[in-house]
Amino acid sequence: MTTVEQDRYDRRLALGATGDLADLNAAGIIEAADVHVATRLAQLVDEHDPLVRVTLALVVRAAREGSTCLEPEHAHELLTETATGEEDDLSVDVLASGASPAGNSTGDVATKDAWTDLPPADEWLQRVADSALTAAGVLRVEHGLVYLDRYHREEVQVAEDLARRAATPAPAVDEAKLAAGLQRVFPGASWTEQSDAVRTAVTRLTTVLAGGPGTGKTSTVAGLLTLLLEQAEATGRRPRIALAAPTGKAAARLRESVIESLARLSPQDRERLGTDIEAVTVHRLLGWRPDSGNRFRRGRGNPLPHDIVVVDEASMLSLTLTARLLEALRPNTRLLLVGDPDQLASVEAGAVLADLVAGYGEGGSPRDGEGDALGSHATSGWYDEAPSKEAPKRGSSPVARLETSHRFGAEIGALAEAVRVGDADRALSTLASATPGGPVQHIHVDHVLEADEALRPRLLEHALRLRRLALDGEYAAALHELGEHRLLCAHRDGPWGVGPWNDRVERWLGEATDYHGRQQVGRPLLVTANDRGLGLFNGDAGVMSLRRDGRVVGVFGEPGAPQVHAATSLADVDTAHAMTIHKSQGSQATSVTVLLPDADSRLLTRELLYTAITRAQKSVLLVGSQEAIRAAITRRTQRATGLRHRV
């Protein structure tokens, strides 16, 4: 457990905090933001129970870390861990009794033994359910989980919208035409998975198309759209189709991949789909509103006009965005959610895709305890199990799984699969037996200085090539080079983080050339905030280049269609010799180098390593200790959500 150092300038410390919240803050369990929100809300509704105040702070913390709710068991674990940890200034025995000791207005006394006496989960939940914060609608207790009202409402809404859509019949299909179409678009045994997936999708309004990289998801999307367009020909009305993804980069990739997959279709099918294919971000599809980050122009009163909506990279959809998307669909609009449920979940709260795959795939609806306000404890509410790889057991499941990868060489595929299923021994032996210079490599290093030495030639060579092309104003070639290699880190800061590695590459460049850091030609860029004026989106990649007139410009987009902006107009861009694995989601590079932090890093999880490895198209190099690889594969993302139990 990391403790916030007693540095009064540490931004994680809430300086004005008192009582249990201050103690938990000092122990590094909650951050200043959690303290402020909990203190303010508790004051507003006159919440006196210290247990409930602490619960609120932990629920706020949980949401900040990506959970939509708090499991009492986890809260207990956190608090107990703190009590038995190295900190000895913690004080929450009042939590056990709910009493405020006389003479202490904040209700706190320092005896850490009391941590182990926290009330049993049922009692705890009951106290939260009976609290002023719950009466005021700030907290909600359901299914043995504690929610902030907003996430509870959104989970319920998503589940209800999905249930309503499941109960609405999809437009009838001409079976004979469909059968002939499937044979034409997906000929032979090798396309059976895709053909089955399309069969699942045509009979439903909502389909979840789940599969790892290169399993043919886009080919399935293209095939499905062609066949739906063919079906609609009899009506004389062409369906309106929207292609979208959570990020601009992912949307651009979706568009490109759909265009690529047209190549294998017959001329007639290609013509059906047309080539004027556009893909946009989900935010753009729903219509940005300047006054709100979470509300859009499209909604129940002003739904999207489309008949078919496809969202790729759906693992990056947060609960909130999913709620907004579902409410913006007309009742009979088809929705296809496409993605890899084993990747990292959204940055914001929720693990929607994994929840839908696990919830529908496990076939457990309604689950035990449904309808009971407190319910049985959702111990499986943790996103701590691999989403079921089995085909959905229920005939009614809208999940179609693609299993076979058609893109990766066998070695990257084998490594990714070993990581995905949590087999550390297999992953390490795949790495140990990898062909030297082949698509999968591991450099074992115990210290970052060893990595420095080992990686310098590889990273510098790429940076120099990029700089040469940028200096020559070869925009397309520079953007292409950008996609040739990516250095991925788990952390932003620290010895294995993006910051120091960006500095390193800059220093090496400085030693090798007349390059002088920022704003200089050849600097790879990562957009960090949406700029609708420039048409740049968070996560877009680019490179500083030299224009013919000698001005420095930022070049973004795809090699075939570079977007050029004056360097001075670029406000929110970071240097991207290295980037975080989180930021790399939704994009790929020909070869990828992954820096693994020390084994005890909390960020190092199976989902993180899997996401990093699957960014590589041709080769991946893991740099770090074997212990770090084993730790990553063993540690699961811990996200508490209730959606999988509601669908």
Ligand X SMILES: Nc1ncnc2c1ncn2[C@@H]1O[C@H](COP(=O)(O)OP(=O)(O)OP(=O)(O)O)[C@@H](O)[C@H]1O
Binding site residues for ATP, as ranges?
A: 211-218
Site for ligand X in 149-168 (CB under 6 A): none
Give the CA dihedral 360, 364, 369, 371, nearest 10 degrees: 50
Amino acid occupying residue 504: R
In whole angstroms, how close is the CB of 178 to ligand X at the nearest point? 18
Number of residues that bind ligand X (CB under 6 A): 16
Feature table: binding site: 211-218
Give yes or no for a contact between 110 and 24, defined as CB atoms under 8 angstroms apart: no
Contact in structure between 211 and 257 (CB atoms under 8 Å): no
* Distance in Å, CB of 345 to ligand X, minimum: 17
For ligand X, which is the closer residue by CB, 144 or 214? Answer: 214
User: Three-state SS across 216-230?
Assistant: CHHHHHHHHHHHHHH
Q: How far is the CB of 409 from ligand X (least distance, A)?
A: 12
Q: Report the nearest approach of ligand X to the CB of residue 592 (Å).
A: 14
Nearer to ligand X, 216 or 398 (CB): 216
- The site string for ligand X over 399-418 (x = CB under 6 A, - otherwise) reads -------xx-----------
Measured from the CB atom, the residue of 73 and 256 that comes closer to ligand X is 256
- Among 218, 343, 611, 626, interactor with ligand X by CB under 6 A: 218
Q: Which of residues 219-238 bind ligand X (CB under 6 A)?
A: 219
Which residue shows structure tokens 């909390």? 602
Q: Smaller CB distance to ligand X: residue 194 or 584?
A: 194
> Which three-class secondary structure string do you get for 519-567?
CCCCCEEEECCCECCCCECCCCEEEEEECCCCCEEEEEEECCEEEEEEH
Report which residue's Cβ sits closest to ligand X.
216
Could you give the CA distance from residue 339 to residue 221 in angstroms, rounded to a whole number?
11
DSSP annotation string for 124-183:
HHHHHHTSHHHHTTSEEEETTEEEEHHHHHHHHHHHHHHHHHHHSPPPP--HHHHHHHHH
SS3 440: strand
Return the residues of window 242-261 that contact ligand X according to CB under 6 A: 257, 261
Which of 257, 250, 248 minimizes the C-alpha distance to 223?
257
Alpha-carbon distances, residue 149 vs 141, 155, 291, 548 (angstroms): 9, 10, 22, 56
Contacting residues for 320 by C-beta, under 8 A, at least 6 apart? 154, 294, 348, 349, 350
Q: Quick one: CA dihedral 153, 347, 312, 561, positive or negative? A: positive
307 vs 205: CA distance, rounded Å: 10
Query: Which C-beta is closer to ligand X: that of 107 or that of 213?
Result: 213
Contacts of ligand X in 178-217 (CB under 6 A): 190-191, 194, 211, 213-217
**Residues facing residue 444 across a β-bridge:** 624
Q: Which of residues 457-476 bind ligand X (CB under 6 A)?
A: none
Least distance CB 46 / ligand X (angstroms): 52
**Least distance in angstroms from the C-beta of 194 to ligand X:** 6
Instruction: Output the smallest distance, CB 218 to ligand X, in A.
Output: 3
Site for ligand X in 333-392 (CB under 6 A): none
Calpha distance 145→372 (Å, rounded): 12
Listing DSSP states for 296-314 in one string gives: -S-BTTB----SEEEESSG
Question: What is the distance of C-alpha 309 from the center of its chain?
Answer: 20
Could you tell me the smallest distance in angstroms from the CB atom of residue 220 to ligand X? 7
> What is the nearest approach in angstroms of ligand X to the Cβ of residue 209?
9
Nearer to ligand X, 219 or 580 (CB): 219
The answer to whether the beta carbons of residues 110 and 87 sit under 8 Å apart is no
Closer to ligand X by CB, 85 or 409: give it: 409
Which residue has tokens 């080079």?
481
Separation of alpha carbons 620 and 591, rounded Å: 6
Nearer to ligand X, 165 or 249 (CB): 249
Binding mask 259-298 for ligand X (x = CB under 6 A): --x--x----------------------------------
Shortest CB 211 distance to ligand X, Å: 5
Q: In angstroms, what is the minimal distance from the CB of 337 to ligand X?
A: 13
Look-up of token digits 């989601």: 585
Nearer to ligand X, 198 or 460 (CB): 198
Task: Between 18 and 404, name the residue whose CB sits nearer to ligand X.
Answer: 404
216 versus 539: smaller Cβ distance to ligand X: 216
Shortest CA distance to 146 belongs to which of 86, 225, 61?
Answer: 61
- Which residues are at the interface with ligand X (CB under 6 A)? 190-191, 194, 211, 213-219, 257, 261, 264, 406-407
